[in-house]
Amino acid sequence: MDVHRVPSDFAQWWTAFLRQWKFYIRTSRFLGLLVFVLIVTVAFTGVTLYLHDSGTSAADYLYGAAGEIGIFGIIIGAFIGGDAIAMDFGSGTGYFMLVLPVKRLVILLGRYAAAFVATLVLIVVYLVVPLLGGIYFWGVTGIPWVDLGESFLLAALYGLAVLSTAFFFSALFRSTAVSMVATILILFLGFLIIDSVVGTSLGYEPWFSLLYAGSVVGLPLVGQAHHTVQHTAIGAGRTLTTHLWYPYVWEGTLILLAYFVIFLVLSAVVYQYKESKG
Amino acid sequence: MVRIEVEGLTKRYGYTGSALALDSVSFEYDGAGAIGYLGPNGAGKTTTLKILTGLLRPTAGVARIDGIDVREHPKRALANVGAVIETPEPYPSLTVSESIEMVSEFRGGPIPNIAQEIGGLHEKLDLPPLDQRTGRLSKGQRQRVVIAAALVRNPSVIILDEPTNGLDPKERILIRNLLQELKKDHLILMSSHLMQEVTEICDQVIFINQGKLLLRDTVENVAARFQSRAVDVEFADSLPLDRLSKLGALVRTVTPLSDRRYRLAFDGTMATRARILSECVEIAPVVTYESASLALEDAYLSLMQANNGGLPPPPRAS
């Protein structure tokens, strides 16, 4: 075989992407997530429309769906990307893939692209059902399309940021099961706790939190105050002070971009230097 | 050019590098043929093969394929290599055909021929149905699929880590025959625990233990050097043990294996071996007369014994 006939990095990336995409959409994990997202979004839309108040605007209604992308995005991204790299070191996949004449970075980017498309499909499914409900009640012209488009782009960027983070954590582990569980716990519970302790209780803006940045997704539809302080009486003359934080749109966008780039680069570095010692 | 070369290859594991897996191993091979890489578990065989395929980085030294440093330029170095290391698993939800196609696409080459090539591999390796998902295959079926993937696009260098591990006798024969055919125009480097398999397939052998290369030679030379020191003789009819007393000083011990079959230990020289046969034929009709063990097996045991100051160490996970 002529050495020079090995395909270009781009052609190999395309192969990695297509095969990984085929792999993802056939997994019970993806199909399970699809069913889960459908149940949640249909339930949300049904309940919201059942309780429909004519005073509610289409933007408020859609914000109800887009505003929850933060949590769902993390669940989706963690399940899709939680073992993306660990699979090469915890199972025999690496012995099949990493002995081929293809750069690890190319394999990683192919997998990343496939994971992103899979995540995007789930996000679209999550958003399209409430959108159809919105069109039913407010008509096509009643939908704030530009704001919704901006919100969707932010959701896509959020998906990239979550995947980069999930890929990074998956690169740290060798067992696919441990990697998946750890990624879900870190992304889901970890950021919830950080937001709650640092932001809500201590009153510091949790600008370093992925979940906090993810709350930017719904903001193009309905603006929120950057910082709100609430004092609640809890008896015996005492009050509980809580802080509510929303990022500015530019700020949330920058944080998501930072997560996307930094963790993707870190994933690539760890993957490049990780050895198949098992 | 078809060439495998390792030079001063050293690999240490652990944070402090205290576990020495390979200790300055060097060898090189040019052209077609099959090389058996032998040693007990934990000797450093798989570590060497992993470094040659870019799965591990050497602590020191260099591994080159076709003159290209695997560590520095893995894509170019592995362009002409098909490898089966440990127990590879294709993506479980891809079919047999898709898995082989994927490898083919990564390696490159004219796409229109892929169906024909996969068909050829299907026939040669008795692959499971091409539309079956690899996650549903048995261990033996999956092993044949990964061997097919290693061979797709006809790479000139084939690196195999215990390729028949987990295969049934029929599958082993299939792989053995295939490798015997392939070695005519491919360079095959294979590790194995099966001396019979290595004897049948390989032209040259490398013995390694505790990370050190002990011996490197052709199978014929090793066989000549480590002559078996025992023969098994089988007579046509039942024969009492005392009838063999006629062999006298030619044999050191006589061990009955059955009422017709005996193991005779001797000094290992060809002259004594020939005289024992003559004597046995005088005693009673002889049906078979063969070495009690393979020459490679004897070589293996002798080398390990000398290297360890005793018997080979008990197997440990590599």
List the domain boundaries for chain A. 9-185+250-273
pLDDT of residue A55: 52
Minimum distance, in Å, between the CA of residue A204 and any CA atom of chain B:
39
Lowest mean pLDDT among A21-35, A49-63, B19-33: A49-63
Q: What is the mean pLDDT of residues B183-193?
A: 94
> HEC string of B202-219?
CCEEEEEECCEEEEEEEH
Q: What is the pLDDT of residue A25?
A: 92
**β-sheet bridge partners, residue B140:** none
Q: How confident is the model at residue B316 (pLDDT cuts 50, 70, 90)?
A: very low
Asked if A101 and B88 come within 8 Å (Cβ–Cβ), the reply is no
How far is the alpha carbon of B265 from chain A, nearest alpha carbon, in Å?
Answer: 42
Q: List pLDDT tens digits, range B27-54.
A: 999 999 999 999 888 899 999 999 999 9
B115 vs A208, more confident = A208
Q: Rounded mean pLDDT of B180-209?
A: 91
Q: Find tokens 């997202």 and name the residue.
A: A37
Alpha helices in B59-186 (DSSP H): 74-77, 96-107, 114-125, 139-151, 169-182
- Which pLDDT belongs to residue B200? 87
Per-residue pLDDT, averaged over B224-249, amounts to 86
Percentage of residues in chain A having pLDDT higher than 90: 49
Task: Please state which of the ranges A196-205, B258-267, B270-279, B294-303 shows the lowest mean pLDDT.
Answer: B294-303
Confidence of residue B56 (pLDDT cuts 50, 70, 90): very high
Give percent above pLDDT 70 in chain A.
97
Q: Which amino acid is at A182?
A: A
Q: How high is the pLDDT of residue B313?
A: 47
Q: What is the pLDDT at residue B309? A: 58
Kindly tell me if the per-residue pLDDT of B66 is higher than 70: yes
pLDDT, tens only, A143-173: 999 999 999 999 999 999 999 999 999 999 8
The tokens for A145 are 């399309």
pLDDT of residue B110: 58
CA distance B194 to chain A (A): 22
Which of A77-86, A126-135, A202-211, B106-115 is predicted least confidently? Answer: B106-115
CA distance B79 to A188: 42
Q: How far is B109 from chain A (nearest CA, A)?
A: 6
Residue partners of A101: CB distance under 8 A and separation at least 6:
A6, B74, B75, B76, B77, B78, B79, B81, B106, B107
By three-state DSSP, how is residue A237 classified? Answer: coil
Q: Given CB atoms, is A32 within the 8 Å cutoff of chain B?
A: no
Residue A32 confidence class, pLDDT cut points 50, 70, 90: very high
pLDDT for the residue B111: 58
- Return all residues near B78 (Cβ < 8 A) that are at least 6 apart: A99, A100, A101, B53, B54, B65, B70
With an 8 Å Cβ cutoff, is B152 touching chain A?
Answer: no
Find the angle CA(A120)-CA(A126)-CA(A131) to the nearest 5 degrees: 115
Q: Report how far apart, in Å, the C-alpha atoms of A116 and of each of A71, A182, A183, A214 are.
A: 17, 20, 16, 16
ipTM exceeding 0.90, yes/no: no
Q: Does A6 contact B at CB distance below 8 Å?
A: yes
Query: Rounded distance, CA B307 to CA B86, Å?
Result: 26
* CATH fold of the domain at B3-224: Rossmann fold (3.40.50)
* B108 interaction partners in chain A (CB closer than 8 Å): 5-7, 11
Give the mean pLDDT of A70-78: 85
In this complex, the residue of B55, B80, B107 whose CB is nearest that of residue A98 is B55
CB pairs under 8 A between A and B: 110
Q: Which superfamily is assigned to B229-292 in CATH?
A: ACT domain (3.30.70.260)
Q: E strand or H helix at A41, and its extent? A: helix A28-50
57-116 of A, contacting B, C-beta below 8 A: 91-96, 98-103
* Residue A231 host element (H or E): strand A227-235
Rounded percentage of chain B residues whose pLDDT exceeds 90:
60
Could you tell me the pLDDT band of residue A102, with boundaries at 50, 70 and 90? very high
Angle, alpha carbons A221-A124-A259 (nearest 5°)? 75
Q: What are the tens digits of pLDDT across the range B257-288?
A: 999 999 898 887 888 989 999 999 999 999 99
